[in-house]
Structure 1
Amino acid sequence: MTIAGSLSNALSGLAAQARAAELVSSNVANANTRGYARRELELTSTYMGGSASAGVSVAGVRREVDISVVQDRRLADAALGHDSTIAGFHAELEAMIGSPGEAGSLSGRIATFEAALIDAGARPDSEARLAAVLEAATALAGKIATASDKVQAMRMEADAAIDGQVRQLNDGLTQVQTLNYEIREAVARGHDPSALQDLRQQTIDAISAIVPMRQVDRDHGMVALYTTGGAIVLDGRAADIGFARAGVIVPEMTQAGGALSGLTINGMAIRSAGDRSPIQGGSLSALFGVRDELAVSAQARLDAVARDLVERFQDGGLDATRGAGDAGLFTDAGAAFAAADEAGLSARLSVNAAVDPARGGALWRLRDGLGAAAPGDVGDARLLQALSGALTAERVPASGGFLGAARSASGLAAELLSVTGAARLAAEARQSQSAAQQDSLTVMELEGGVDTDHELQKLMLIEQAYAANAKVLATVGDMIDTLMGL
C-alpha cells in the first residue's frame, strides 16, 4: 500500500468515526424523546484504480424503527382515546344522577318528596308541612330539569370537542403532507432526512389518537395514511375533513334530523359513529357517539322518568277538582302533558303554579285540590294520601327502554341509576383493557429505541478506531519527515 493510500484510508476513517460519534451523541441526547428513532451509520468501502482501497465512506444514516410496533401502538392510542371518552361520559352521567345515599341525588329527592307527603297527610292543617311538600316537589322537578340541562351541556361539549379535533386533524394531515415533500426533496439531494422523519412520526402519532390510521410507505421516503375503516386521508395530498359546529343544542336536535352536522371527507358525507364508520375506533368517533347516541339515549331515559312522574299525578281519578285535560301536580312547562311531546320533557318539568304562592297559587290546594276555588276542611287528608299513594304505586314505564316490570317512582329512579352504573362499569373495563394494551405496546416500542449503555459501548469503540486512524496519520507523517531528511 502506498503512503497516499494509507493517508486516504486514515483520513476517511477519521471522518467516518467523527460522523459515528455525532450519531451516538444524538442518540443519547434523544433517548427520552417521543418519536425519535435510533440512528445507525451505514458505511461502505471506497476503491480507486480497480481494487486499490481508498478508505471508507458514509453511505447514509439508517433510522432503526419497527414500524409494525409503532402502528399497533397508534391503534392502541386511538382505542384508549375512544374508551376514555365513553367512560368519562358515563361517569359524569352517573355522578349527575347521584347515588341514593348522596344529598341531592334523584333517589334522595324522591324520598324527600315522599316523606313530605306523608308528614303533610298526618297534619293536613299545617301550612309548614304543605310548604315542605311544595319545596320537595320543586326540588325534585328541578333535579330532573338540571340533569336534562347537563346532558345537553355534555352534547354541546362533545360538539365543541369534535370541532377542535377536526381542526387538529386537518392541521396534522397538512403538516404530514408538507413533511412528505420535504423528505422527498432531502432524499433527492442526498441529505439525511431522519430529523424530518422523526417529526413526521410525532405528527402522525398525535393525530392517530383522534382517528386510527395505517401508514403505507411510498416512493422517495413518502407515506400515505388510511383509516382502519378504509378512508384515504393522505396519499399525495391531504384530505379535507369537514364539520360545522352547532351554536346551541336542545333535546330535539339530532344529526339524523339534519339539525346537527356530521363529518365529510373532501365534501363527501360519511358515517360519523358506529361500527361501519370510516373513522371508527378513535376519540373523534367516540365524541360523535356521545353527542348523537349515548347522550340522546340518556335524555330519553330522563324524559321517561319525567313522564312517569307527570302521569302519576295527572291521572283523572286522583283529584276530582281538576277539569278534563288540566295539568296535575307536575306539568309540562305549566301545561298538561301530551305523549307526543315527550322529547325534552325533563327540561320543561315544573310544579303546577296553582299550589305555589310565589306564582299566584295557594298551598291549601295541595290538600283541597288543584282546581278548588276555596279552602276546604283543614283536617281532610284524603288528597295528600292519594298523592303519596300515586308516588309509591307500581306502574310500567311507558317509554325510555326500561324493562317491562312495574315500579314505583323511587324504583324507576333506582333503575335509571342501575342502567347508568352498569354502562359506566362496562366502559371503564374496556378503558382499563385499552390502557393495558397501550402501555404494553409503548414499552415494546421503547425497547427498540435508544439503549444508552449500548451507545456508550459504541462510543468507546469509536474512540479506539479514531485513535487508530490518528496513529496511522502520525506514523505516515513520521515516515514522510524521515524521507524528507535523507
Structure 2
Amino acid sequence: MSDLLNIGASGLGAYSRALATVGDNIANAQTPGYARRTIELREAPAAGEIVLSRNSIRPGGVETAGVRRSVDPWLIEDARTASGEADRSSARLDAIDATERALDDGIGGIGESMTRIFTTADQLAADPANATLRAQFLQSVDDSAAAFRRTAAALGSAANGVAQSASITVDSLNTDLTALEAVNQGLRRARAGSANEAKLLDERDRLLDRISSALPVTASFDARGAVTLLASDGALPLVANGSVSTLSVSILANGQLAYAIAPGGTLAPSGGTLAGLSQGANHIAMQTASLDVLAAQFASDLNGWHQSGLDANGNPGSALLSGTSAATLVAVALTADAVAAADASASNGNSLQLANLRGSTGVEAGWAALVGQQAQQAASARAQDAAASTRRDGAFAARDMVGEVDLDREAAELLRFQQAYEAAARTVQVARETMQSILNIF
C-alpha cells in the first residue's frame, strides 16, 4: 500500500509542475524572447535504496527530469546574423536619408539660388545702368552663400544625429554586456533543468539578440549555458572569464566615428547598428567634403569673374565672396555701383562673360552631379534595406516556429495534465481508503 501512496504522490508532484509549466507558456505567449517550455517526465525506478534502509523496495511512479526550452541554436544564430545586417542597413539608410534632406534642391536651395545669379546677370547685361538690377544681383549672390551655409548646417546636424545615435547605442551595448555577465553568474548557480534556469536562458538569449543587432559577435557556451562573447571583428573579448569589456565611440573632426574596446583596442565593426552608423557618418562626411569643394570653386569662379570686370565708376571689381568652405561662405558687402558689369570694351561686357561659367565643369553642373549621385545612393540603400528586412523577417519567422507558444496546443496539454493530476489524486484516495478498510478489520 505504501507503493500505491508513493506512486500517487509522485504523480501529484510531477503533474503539478507540468501544469505550472503550461501556465507559464500561456502567460508568456506574447512575451518577446520567450521560448516555449516542455516538461520532461520519466518513470521513477521501482527499486533502489532509501535513506534509512538498504536493499529495500522503493515504490515506482513518475518524476520530472527537468524543463526543456524549445529552441534551435542554428535558427537562433541565423536570426541574429540577419537582424544585425538589417539593423546595419537601416542605420545607414537613416543617415543617407538625412543627407538627402540636407542637400535640398528645391526653392531656396543651392541649385535654384545659383541659377538666379546667372538669370539676374543676363537681365543686368540688357540694362547695365539699372541700380535695381545691380542690387538684385548682389542679393542673389548673398542668397547663394546663405544656401551653402544652410546646407552645410543641415549636414552638420545630420552628422550630430548620427554621432548621438552611436553614443546611445554604445551606452546600451555596455549595459547589455554587464547584464549578460550577471546572467552568466545566475546560470552557474541555477539548478539544472529548473524553471529558474529556463528564465535565465531566455534572458541570456534576449541580451545576445540585442548585442548582436548592434555588433557582430561570436558566442560560445559552457555546460551550464554561461556564454563567452567575442567581437567577431578582431576577436576581442567582450564577456569572458568573469570580466566585461567597455566600448566607447569617438567623433573625429570631420564627423566620422571611431570605436574602441577597453581593454583591447580599436574596433571596426562590419555589421550591426554600429557599422551602419559608421557608414552613415562616412557618407555624410564625404558629401560635406564634396559640398566644400563646390563652395570653394563657386567663390573662386565668381570672384575671378567679378575681379576681371569694371564697376560703375570704372574701377576693377572686388571679391564678391569670402570663405573657403560651405559653412564659412559669406557675401562681401558691396554697393550697387560696385557691381563689375562692364569690361574695357562695353558697359555690359563682363555681365555677358558670366555665362561662360555655366559649362560642364561649372559649379551648377557640379551641384547637379552631387545631387544626382546622392539620389542614386539613396535608392540603392533603400533597396538593400528592403532586402535585409525581408531576410530578417524570414529568419525570425523560422526561429519563432520552433519556440512560439500555440495556445491551442497548450489548451490540449492543460487538459491532459489536469486529467493526469486527477488520476494521481484518485490513486492516493484509493490507497487511503484501502488502508482504512484494512485497519477497520482489526
Q: TM-score higher than 0.5 here?
A: yes
1:236 matched to 2:241: yes
- AA partner of residue 384 (structure 1): S
Counterpart CA distance in 2 for 1:326 and 1:31 is 77
SS at match of 2:214: coil
Change (3 A) 1:317 1:130: closer
Alignment of 1:374-453 (within 5 A): 380-387=347-354, 389-392=355-358, 394=359, 406-448=360-402, 449-453=404-408
Alignment of 1:328-339 (within 5 A): 328-332=319-323
> What per-residue deviation string (whole Å, max 9, x for no partner) do you get for residues 6-65 of structure 1?
111111111111110110010011111111111111223223544754212222111121
SS at match of 1:145: helix
Counterpart CA distance in 2 for 1:138 and 1:320 is 19
- AA partner of residue 314 (structure 1): N
SS at match of 1:233: strand
* Residue 139 (structure 1) aligns with: 143
* Residue 178 (structure 1) aligns with: 182
Of the candidates 161, 165, 171, which is equivalent to residue 169 of structure 2?
165
* Residue 339 (structure 1) aligns with: none
Counterpart CA distance in 1 for 2:436 and 2:219 is 60
Alignment of 1:24-39 (within 5 A): 24-39=22-37
Alignment of 1:26-105 (within 5 A): 26-47=24-45, 49-50=47-48, 53-99=59-105, 102-105=106-109
Say whether the 8 Å CA contact 1:327–1:352 is kept in structure 2: no
SS at match of 1:195: helix
- AA partner of residue 477 (structure 1): R
Counterpart CA distance in 2 for 1:24 and 1:189 is 15
SS at match of 1:167: helix
Counterpart CA distance in 2 for 1:321 and 1:116 is 17
Alignment of 1:104-115 (within 5 A): 104-115=108-119
Counterpart CA distance in 1 for 2:192 and 2:47 is 28
After alignment, is 34-43 or 225-234 more displaced?
225-234
Counterpart CA distance in 1 for 2:227 and 2:298 is 59
Of the candidates 319, 330, 336, which is equivalent to residue 350 of structure 1?
330
1:310 matched to 2:308: no
* Residue 53 (structure 2) aligns with: none
> What per-residue deviation string (whole Å, max 9, x for no partner) do you get for residues 123-146 of structure 1?
223222222222221111111122
* Residue 15 (structure 2) aligns with: 17
Q: CA deviation at 1:454?
A: 1.1
Say whether the 8 Å CA contact 1:75–1:213 is kept in structure 2: no
Say whether the 8 Å CA contact 1:330–1:350 is kept in structure 2: yes
Say whether the 8 Å CA contact 2:43–2:61 is kept in structure 1: yes
* Residue 336 (structure 2) aligns with: 363
Say whether the 8 Å CA contact 1:116–1:132 is kept in structure 2: yes
Say whether the 8 Å CA contact 2:65–2:193 is kept in structure 1: no
The size of the alignment, in residue pairs, is 428
Pairwise CA RMSD of aligned residues?
2.8
After alignment, is 166-175 or 41-50 more displaced?
41-50
SS at match of 2:391: helix
- AA partner of residue 264 (structure 1): A
Counterpart CA distance in 2 for 1:11 and 1:270 is 60
* Residue 413 (structure 2) aligns with: 458
Counterpart CA distance in 2 for 1:317 and 1:407 is 19
- AA partner of residue 278 (structure 2): F
After alignment, is 475-484 or 35-44 more displaced?
475-484
Q: CA deviation at 1:321?
A: 4.7
| Unaligned ranges ≥5, structure 1 | 272-276, 333-341, 356-361, 395-405
- AA partner of residue 418 (structure 1): G
| Unaligned ranges ≥5, structure 2 | 49-56
What TM-score, normalized by structure 2, do the two folds share? 0.88
> What per-residue deviation string (whole Å, max 9, x for no partner) do you get for residues 304-327 of structure 1?
2112212222337862459xx996
Q: CA deviation at 1:204?
A: 2.0
1:319 matched to 2:308: yes
